[in-house]
């Protein structure tokens, strides 16, 4: 019976926690304290929710972008200089543990010509079947493949003949002559939405004729992006000097750096909201200390040490930060889930490479957001609580 009654005072809780909890509850009674507490909690909640939603949207976009760009990037690329036999290197690579497949390719610049029209294109010579990076092609046999949008604007179809010219001329006694091949269009493919330049796929032998001796690339299928590094390490051990081995991560290093930078800058910018809310928390804690000044003085006379009084307001601030952070977490996670699931934020597909804003929540992002928000709030609460510890009972009790 006796202990049950004590439960209202916080059974087993230390003195500082009991007082902090009561002061947190008391914010309901004092309208000004309530207002400031709401501002501090609300600010933190908005800050945390904004950080979660923004980073989730950014992560969603970045994942989609990475997915598309990586679909055109080999898992491991081995560049073979012109003085080496790429076919031999490819055979050597195929024998390495973890390699599921190899494809030789070559890349250079050129033009496509048809009925007096000309356009600059990226020439990609490939060995064997058309690579998967050329999406939605009706057939994958050797031949020339054009992007759908180029074919549509020029009125070309499969079977039409086009001329392909290289930017490498052949030197003849009559002067430099362009290297031109006339070939039928084998099929059309759908270009990725982030592709800025038209790519033209053609058989490796034709590419060799047009581009001459060039650094050839052997694209390696390592069975997944995460296995690429392991396979690349093995390849580097067995391949001769002069041959360069790079993983998809190294090939797109600039992109990944830019994406990381973008995310970091956005995180710092949005953390300012949390910073402002944390300052509101300082104001709130200060106000409560001012309002409870005489009570704090009395607690001092009763034997509460300065460190105990500091703990009271540290816990008070931590309580507000936890409530604000918790509300922000719930808002951010549920918001991101709903926005992603029901695709509520639509985008004009002609402008963007996606038709909606995707939201991807990463646990690590949420952990960092909570850590920074609560850390900042607690640091501010420590600062504010120092004022309670600095009060002497005599000063506090003076009317």
Of residues 216 and 284, the one with the C-beta less far from other proteins = 284
Residue from 120, 194, 307, 334 that binds other proteins (CB under 8 A)?
307
Q: Can you spell out the DSSP letters for 47-96?
A: HHHHHHHHHHHHHHHHHHHHHHHHHTS-SEEEEE-TTS-HHHHHHHHHTS
Residue found by looking up tokens 């080999």 in the block: 74
- Render the burial of 232-270: b for 16+ CB within 10 Å, e for the rest: bebbeeebeeebebbbbbebbeebbeebeeebeeebeeb
Q: Sign of dihedral through CA atoms 266, 63, 61, 336?
A: negative
How many alpha carbons fall within 13 Å on the CB side of residue 169? 8
Task: CB nearer to other proteins: give 127 or 284.
Answer: 284
153 binds other proteins (CB under 8 A): no
Q: By CB under 8 A, is residue 3 in contact with other proteins?
A: yes
Three-state SS at 274:
helix
- Pick the piece of the chain touching other proteins (CB under 8 A) from 2-10, 47-55, 122-130, 178-186: 2-10
Residue 294 beta carbon to other proteins: minimum distance, rounded to whole angstroms: 5
Would you give the end-to-end CA distance of the chain in angstroms?
40
277 touches 118 (CB < 8 A): no
Residue 77 β-bridge partners: 219, 246
Hey, is 342 helix, strand or coil? Answer: coil
- Binding residue for other proteins, selected from 70, 113, 308, 331, defined by CB under 8 A: 308
Query: Binding segment for other proteins among 14-22, 56-64, 183-191, 329-337 (CB under 8 A)?
Result: 14-22
Q: Which stretch binds other proteins (CB under 8 A): 1-9, 93-101, 324-332, 362-370?
A: 1-9
Sketch the per residue contact string, 267 through 306, with other proteins: x for CB under 8 A, - otherwise.
---------------------------xx-xxxxxxxxxx
Q: Of 3 and 351, which CB lies nearer to other proteins in the complex structure?
A: 3
Q: In whole angstroms, how close is the CB of 279 to other proteins at the nearest point?
A: 26
Residue 192 interacting with other proteins (CB under 8 A):
no
The string of DSSP letters for 87-124 reads HHHHHHHHTSTT--EEEEEEEEEEEEEETTEEEEEEEE
State which residue, 45 or 299, has the beta carbon closest to other proteins: 299
**Contact call for residue 31 and other proteins (CB under 8 A):** no
For other proteins, the closer of residues 110 and 319 by Cβ is 319
Of residues 302, 210, 290, the one with CA closest to residue 32: 290
Is the Cβ of residue 25 or residue 337 nearer to other proteins in the bound state? 25
In terms of Cα–Cα distance, which of 196, 154, 138, 187 is closest to 353? 196
The token duo for 291 is 């309002």
Contact region for other proteins (CB under 8 A) — 23-31, 168-176, 197-205, 275-283?
23-31
Q: Which stretch binds other proteins (CB under 8 A): 7-15, 74-82, 131-139, 380-388?
A: 7-15
How many whole angstroms separate alpha carbon 176 and alpha carbon 195? Answer: 32
Q: Which stretch binds other proteins (CB under 8 A): 6-14, 194-202, 257-265, 334-342?
A: 6-14
Min CB(380)–other proteins separation in Å = 23
Q: By CB under 8 A, how many residues form the interface with other proteins?
A: 35
Shorter beta-carbon distance to other proteins: residue 12 or 95: 12
At a CB cut-off of 8 Å and minimum separation 6, what does 324 contact? 40, 41, 42, 43, 44, 45, 48, 277, 377
Decide: is 330 part of the binding site for other proteins (CB under 8 A).
Answer: no
Kindly list the residues in this chain that would bind other proteins in the complex (CB under 8 A): 2-3, 5-6, 8-9, 11-12, 14-15, 18-19, 22-23, 25-26, 294-295, 297-308, 392-394, 397, 399
């Amino acid at each position: 019976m006796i202990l049950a009654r004590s439960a209202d005072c916080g059974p087993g809780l230390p003195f500082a926690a009991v007082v902090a909890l009561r002061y947190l509850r008391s914010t309901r009674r004092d309208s000004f304290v309530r207002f400031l507490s709401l501002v501090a909690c609300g600010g933190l909640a908005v800050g945390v929710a904004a950080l979660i939603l923004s980073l989730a949207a950014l992560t969603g976009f970045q994942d989609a972008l990475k997915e598309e760009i990586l679909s055109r990037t080999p898992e491991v690329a081995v560049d073979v200089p012109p003085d080496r036999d790429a076919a031999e290197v490819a055979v050597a690579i195929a024998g390495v543990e973890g390699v599921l497949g190899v494809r030789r390719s070559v890349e250079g610049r050129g033009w496509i010509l048809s009925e007096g029209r000309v356009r600059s294109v990226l020439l990609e010579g490939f060995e064997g079947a058309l690579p998967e990076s050329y999406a939605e092609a009706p057939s994958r046999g050797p031949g020339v493949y054009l992007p759908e949008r180029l074919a549509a604007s020029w009125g070309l179809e499969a079977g039409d003949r086009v001329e392909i010219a290289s930017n490498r001329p052949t030197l003849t006694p009559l002067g430099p002559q362009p290297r031109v091949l006339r070939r039928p269009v084998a099929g059309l493919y759908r270009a990725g939405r982030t592709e800025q330049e038209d790519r033209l796929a053609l058989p490796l032998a034709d590419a060799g004729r047009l581009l001459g001796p060039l650094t050839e690339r052997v694209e390696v299928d390592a069975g997944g992006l995460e296995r690429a590094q392991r396979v690349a390490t093995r390849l580097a051990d067995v391949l001769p000097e002069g041959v360069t081995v790079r993983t998809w991560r190294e090939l797109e290093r600039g992109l990944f750096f830019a994406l990381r930078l973008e995310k970091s800058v956005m995180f710092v910018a949005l953390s300012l909201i949390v910073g402002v809310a944390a300052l509101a928390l300082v104001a709130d804690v200060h106000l409560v200390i001012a309002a409870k000044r005489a009570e704090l003085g009395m607690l001092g006379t009763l034997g509460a040490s300065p460190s105990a009084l500091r703990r009271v307001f540290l816990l008070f601030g931590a309580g507000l930060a936890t409530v604000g952070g918790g509300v922000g977490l719930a808002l951010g996670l549920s918001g991101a889930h709903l926005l992603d699931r029901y695709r509520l934020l639509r985008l004009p597909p002609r402008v963007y490479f996606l038709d909606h804003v995707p939201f991807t929540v990463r646990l690590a992002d949420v952990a960092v957001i909570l850590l920074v928000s609560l850390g900042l709030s607690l640091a501010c609460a420590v600062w504010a609580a120092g004022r309670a510890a600095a009060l002497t009972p005599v000063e506090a009790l003076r009317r």
